[in-house]
Amino acid sequence: MLDAAFEVFLQHGFEGATLEQVAEHAGVSRQTVYAHFRGEEEGVKETLFRAMVAEFVAQPDNAHPLSASLGSSEDVEADLRTYARHHLQLVMRPELLRLRRMMIGEAERFPALADEWFTNGPERSFELFAGWFAELHARGTLTVPDPDVAARTFNWLVLSTPLNEAMARPYRTWTTAELEEWADEAVRVFLAGHR
């Protein structure tokens, strides 16, 4: 049912989605949806929405092998480029973009859920990146006096234009070559400020 809810909510948004659509997509009765997500109809829909987002947030984030070792890299430029390409491709997945748009649109209705989304998404990335940059600074490989600021800067350089454009222009498809070129330039700019 959560997979069905994911499809229905992404297609119709919170307001447009109905429990009937979820039940039909899941191949179950409406009563089955009610039995699993008890309450009044609006309460069931909200409970289902929260469960669907929580399920998605709890999924593994397809961590790249470099996630654990980039701080000890012997070729920081090449490894950051590889990771930046991976990170940008991951964030730009169509289903994730659609969920991000919906979460932004529903942040005022579901502030705790939006907070959980941010904590388990961007904040987790910032912590990972800050750890790399602190280690690279300690080794003397890069000059990073504030790893937290550097982590947020790196993330924004990598994601900025593709993600912003994708939020406003769902019809615009970035090619793999375009994303790789953007990621490579982001790494070049970042390293220019931290070598």
Tell me what the pLDDT averaged over the chain comes to.
91
Question: pLDDT, tens digit, for every residue of 64-110?
Answer: 888 889 999 999 999 999 999 999 999 999 988 988 898 898 899 88
| Dihedral pair phi/psi, residue 18, rounded to 5° | -125, 160
Question: pLDDT, tens digit, for every residue of 167-176?
Answer: 999 889 999 9
Question: Side-chain half-sphere of 62: how many Cα atoms within 13 Å?
Answer: 10
Q: What does each C-alpha distance from 55 to 2, 3, 6, 80, 113 come to in angstroms?
A: 8, 9, 10, 30, 12
Rounded Cα distance between 152 and 158, Å, is 10
Question: pLDDT, tens digit, for every residue of 29-74?
Answer: 988 988 888 755 558 888 888 888 877 776 655 578 888 899 999 9
Rounded Cα distance between 113 and 102, Å, is 12
Full-model pTM: 0.85
pLDDT value of residue 41: 52
Residue 28 contacts residue 44 (beta carbons within 8 Å): no
